[in-house]
Amino acid sequence: MDVRRLLRQLRRAGPEIVLALVVIVAGVTVWQAWAVSNQLRNEARNTSRIYGRITAGLADPTPGADTETLFTLTLDIRASGIPLVVTDTAGNPTQWDNLPFDAEFGDPRVAEFVRELDRTNAPITVPDIGQIHFGALPAARRLTWLAILQLSLLGTAVAVGIWAYRSAVTRDRDRVWVAMARESAHQLGTPLMSAGAWVDRLGSTSTPAEEIASHLKGDLDRLHRVAQRFERIGRPARRDHVALGSVAERVASYFRPRLPRHAHPVSLTVDAPAAGPVIDGDAVLIEWAVEALVRNAVDALSGRGGAIEITVADEGERASIRVADNGPGIPSEVRASLFEPGVSTKPGGWGIGLALAQRIVEGVHRGRLQAVPASEGAVFVAELPVVAKGAEEDV
C-alpha cells in the first residue's frame, strides 16, 4: 500500500485510534487496580496466618513446638516466591531460595544475583549471622510491568492525539484556503462578467455611452470593495461609525438586479430605521458579513423562489441585523456545525460564507451571530454593540 495513502487513512482514523487507546488504558487501569486490591488482600491473609502460627507456637507447651513453628514459617516464606539469599559475615552465600535459575553451592551466579537484589532493596543485617538479601514478590513485578504498559499506552494515546489534532488543523487550514480562493474568484467574477458584457454592448447597441459608463463605474466600485475586503484579512479592523441601515440597503441594492425574476422569482426587502443604528466597526467587513448571510438565503431559495427580508433594529445597547428567508430551513444534522469552515448544505458549496460572517461579527466586532429557530425557512441574527448615545453626530 502507498505510504501517503496509509498516512491519509491514519489521519482520518486518528480520533478512533485515540479513543481505542484510551479504552485500553482504562481497561489496564481497572485491571491494575483489581490486581493491587487482590495482592493487598492476599498479603493481609498471609500476614494474619503467620501471626496466628507464631502466637500458637509461643503458647504451645510441647517441647520443640517453637522449632516446628519456625520451620513451618520458613516453608511459607519460601512458598511466597520472594527471591532470598542469605550470606555470612564474609559475604559468601550460604542459603538461597526462589532464584530464577538452579544453582549449586559455590555458583558465581548467586553472588551476581545478590548484587542485583541489593540494587533494588537494601539487605537486612542479622547480628552474628550475616545478611538477608531479598527481591520483590512476583505480584509486585507484574504490577511494575502493568504500570509500564499503562504509561506506554498513555504516552502513545497522547502522541497520536497531538498528531491527529495537528493533522486536523492542517486539513482545516488547507480547506479554508481553498474556500477563500473560491470565494475570491466568486467575488471578482460577477463584476468582471458584468463589465465585460457592458463593453460588448458598446459596439453592438444604441445604449447611451453615459448609461454604459455608469454601469461600468458601478462594477469598478464593486471590484474596489472586493479588493478592500481581502486587503483586510490579517490586519487590524478599522473602528469607524457604521450605519447598519445604510449597509443593509447597500447590500440589497447589489443583490436585487441579480435575483431570479421569472421561473422562480426571489424578492428582497429591507426594514431599517433610516440609516441607523450606528455601531463602532469596519464598514467593509460588516457589509461582507451581511452579504454572506444574504447570499446564503439566496442559495437556499435557488430553484424554488421565495422571499428574503433584512431587518435592522436598535435594541438599546445592541443593534441587530436579521436575515430571514422562507426556504427549506436548516437541516438538523448540520445545525451544530453550521458555522464551521467547509460545512455547506448546497451541492458544490465550499462552506466559507457563514464561517466568515461569524468571524467578522464575533471575532472582530465582539458581537454574536446565531441561527435562531423559525417555523419556516432559516433566520440568522447578528447582534453588535452600538455607539454610545451622543457619539453618533460624527456619522
- Architecture of domain 238-394 in this structure: 2-Layer Sandwich (3.30)
Query: In terms of Cα–Cα distance, which of 26, 30, 21 is closest to 162?
Result: 21
Q: Check residue 175 and give its pLDDT.
A: 61
Q: List every span in the chain annotated with CATH 3.30.565.10.
A: 238-394
Chain-centre distance of CA 86, in angstroms?
58
Is residue 282 within 8 Å of residue 232, measured between CB atoms? yes
Q: Check residue 395 and give its pLDDT.
A: 36
Q: Check residue 252 and give its pLDDT.
A: 92
* Phi, psi torsion values for 378, nearest 5 degrees: -125, 145
Is residue 312 within 8 Å of residue 319, measured between CB atoms? yes
Query: DSSP E strands: which ranges in 115-219?
Result: 124-126, 130-134
- Rounded CA gap, 355 and 338, in Å? 8
Low-confidence stretches of the chain (pLDDT beneath 70): 1-15, 18-19, 21, 32, 36, 39-40, 43-44, 46-60, 64-67, 69-71, 73, 77-78, 80, 137-143, 146, 164, 167-190, 194, 203-207, 229-235, 341-351, 388-395
DSSP state of 107: -
* Amino acid, res. 299: D
Q: Check residue 309 and give its pLDDT.
A: 95
DSSP 3-state of 148: helix
Residues 6+ apart with CB under 8 A from 307: 266, 267, 268, 269, 325, 326
What nine digits make up the cell of 12?
482520518
Q: Check residue 143 and give its pLDDT.
A: 66
To the nearest whole number, what is the mean pLDDT of the chain? Answer: 77
